[in-house]
Structure 1
Amino acid sequence: MTVVVKVGGAKAVDPAGALADVAALIEEGEDVVVVHGGSTAVDDALEAMGIDPEYVETPGGVVGRFTDEETMDVFKMAMPGLVNTDLVVGLQNQGVDAVGLSGVDGGLLTGPRKSAVRVVEGGTKKIKRGDHSGTIESVNAELLETLLEAGHTPTVSVPMLGVEDDGSYTAVNSDADRSAAAVAGALDADLVLLTDTTGVYRDPEDPGTRIERVSTPAEYDELTDAAEGFMKRKVMAAEEALRGGAPTVVVGDANAANPIRSALDGDGTTIERDALPES
């Protein structure tokens, strides 16, 4: 069995427990691929450089950082540099032979660049140009499988390899949850999305309303209705992973004891492939 683990980059997420759990899973004979975010590191780097991050809302209600050229340069420094290196060192300290990769390495994550995005400003839908992000259309699964077979643990970050209209390549941003989803789908692997909540809640303010398991289309509709804010992106990523080939996706608590194994044992919101409505 292969497990893809997405480790969040929010301030409230301490990756130490997840790294120790990666080591435990490998000791049990599982293959693990780590994909990580780094929103805090990027925001800190932008602040240090005197750059104000710009957040936009899509027509679907998903809020994300707008990646212009200047912000993209910060991403390239912070994500495959600082965050990825620290996670690889942390895994090595756990006895895990981790290998750091960005999405551009070996064409690991490839797809068209989105030079413009649809946003909502003041209740009006607009086209915002100058974006440096992309949509992942292919994953070099063979590269990941080769590393896994050799006993390495791939540790993946953005940027991805964006394809321009003229066929040339450039490094562009991609959402870490959706990057993890693409990897899980390509490997037919279970996906664990670790975050700073214990799952998806029916009432976003009440952890006691956590949705435990989503097994039917009706339950999936309830899930999508309940997801708000950043959780909308995680549910979107879950659907992409499941449609791509992942058997299950779990949204779980990064700060729980044994967070990955706990999530796989049902401590979170588990979404099954059969729950998806027909596309």
Structure 2
Amino acid sequence: MTAETPVVVKIGGARAVDPEGALSDIASLVEDGTEIVVVHGGSTAVDNTLERMDIDPEYVETPSGVVGRFTDAETMDVFKMAMAGQVNTDLVVGLQNQGVDAVGLSGADGKLLYGPRKSAVRVVEDGKKKIRRGDHSGRIKEVNAGLLETLLADGYTPVASPPMLADDGVAVNTDADRASAAVAGAVGGTLVSLTDVEGVYRDPDDPATLIERVETPDDYDELDAAAEGFMSRKVMAATEALESGADEVVIADANADAPVSTAVDGGGTHILPSALE
């Protein structure tokens, strides 16, 4: 890793992910001259806030089998409060305490993450395909890479999260894995997607079956077949990152010692652009 090759670190928002090790490792890497952009989720914080407000979170399944949050107007208000407020601020403070001059950003700041709002979403309910309206979500089409590059050049470490800014001028939800993929593609370099397992397993229940390297189309077919549940979303995001300009994606364990350094140095599941050729 060099200062000329940014590393985009996606810190997951799952309950089992402890960010402290990642923040300490990021501080060490920044001190050594590595440019890092942090992108984070916050699903647990959003759900906890919804629970405190006696609002039931709603998840829906798409026809392709991907499960995601349905974000109505009330949930969107909570999402902004928890994600761009609590989680982002906590990570920025954590990095500042490690000596990193971190800057918190939502996707709406400087049109960092921008794209069309979905007028409706296709879902599967009781085995039937339906159309749900009223969802506050969108698909990222543009990343303000210049904003990130300016901050990095001035010695700051950006810490970014959804929401994104939709083309109708409204802040809307977007998947944090896909947000990190869009950022990695825009700035180039390596995407390190930290989660609560060591990587993608051939057998989802057996860590000994870790897929370590994906560099041919056959390798990719094996990876795609093995990814289930939340991991399928990470593989989809990895694909988007590589297609849009990232030079490598690593899916790795957030709770490992020095998780970012370990991932870049060979840990986890490494996915290369050649796997998509």
TM-score by length of 1: 0.97
Q: Secondary structure at the match of 1:101?
A: strand
Cα deviation, residue 103, structure 1: 0.2
The answer for the alignment partner of 2:263 in structure 1 is: 263
Does 2:78 match 1:74? yes
* Identical pairs, percent: 71
Letter in 2 for 1:207: P
Question: Structure 1 stretches (4+) deviating beyond 2 angstroms?
Answer: none
The answer for the alignment partner of 2:49 in structure 1 is: 45
Letter in 2 for 1:26: V
Letter in 1 for 2:8: V
The answer for the alignment partner of 2:90 in structure 1 is: 86
Structure 2 residues without counterparts, runs of 5 or longer: none
Letter in 2 for 1:192: V
The answer for the alignment partner of 2:130 in structure 1 is: 126
CA-to-aligned-CA distance 1:140-171 (integer Å, 9 cap, x gap): 0000000000000000011100113xxxx100
Does 2:209 match 1:209? yes
The answer for the alignment partner of 1:112 in structure 2 is: 116
Aligned equivalents of 1:143 and 1:56: distance in 2? 34
Q: Secondary structure at the match of 2:90?
A: helix
* Alignment match of 2:154 (pick from 150, 155, 172): 150
The answer for the alignment partner of 2:237 in structure 1 is: 237
Aligned equivalents of 2:217 and 2:31: distance in 1? 36
Does 2:141 match 1:141? no
- The aligned length equals 273
The answer for the alignment partner of 1:29 in structure 2 is: 33
Aligned equivalents of 1:131 and 1:75: distance in 2? 13
Residues 242-251 or 119-128, more deviating: 119-128
What pairs with 1:148-227 in structure 2 (closer than 5 Å)?
148-164=152-168, 169-227=169-227
CA-to-aligned-CA distance 1:77-112 (integer Å, 9 cap, x gap): 001100000000000000000000000000000000
Aligned-residue CA RMSD (Å): 0.7
Cα deviation, residue 115, structure 1: 2.2
Aligned equivalents of 2:64 and 2:32: distance in 1? 41
Letter in 2 for 1:139: V
Q: Secondary structure at the match of 1:5?
A: strand
TM-score by length of 2: 0.98
Letter in 2 for 1:212: E
Q: Secondary structure at the match of 1:256?
A: coil
Aligned equivalents of 1:117 and 1:241: distance in 2? 23
Aligned equivalents of 1:269 and 1:159: distance in 2? 28
Aligned equivalents of 2:160 and 2:97: distance in 1? 18
CA-to-aligned-CA distance 1:14-64 (integer Å, 9 cap, x gap): 000000111111122110000000011000000000000111111111111
CA-to-aligned-CA distance 1:162-189 (integer Å, 9 cap, x gap): 113xxxx100000000000000000012
Cα deviation, residue 65, structure 1: 1.1
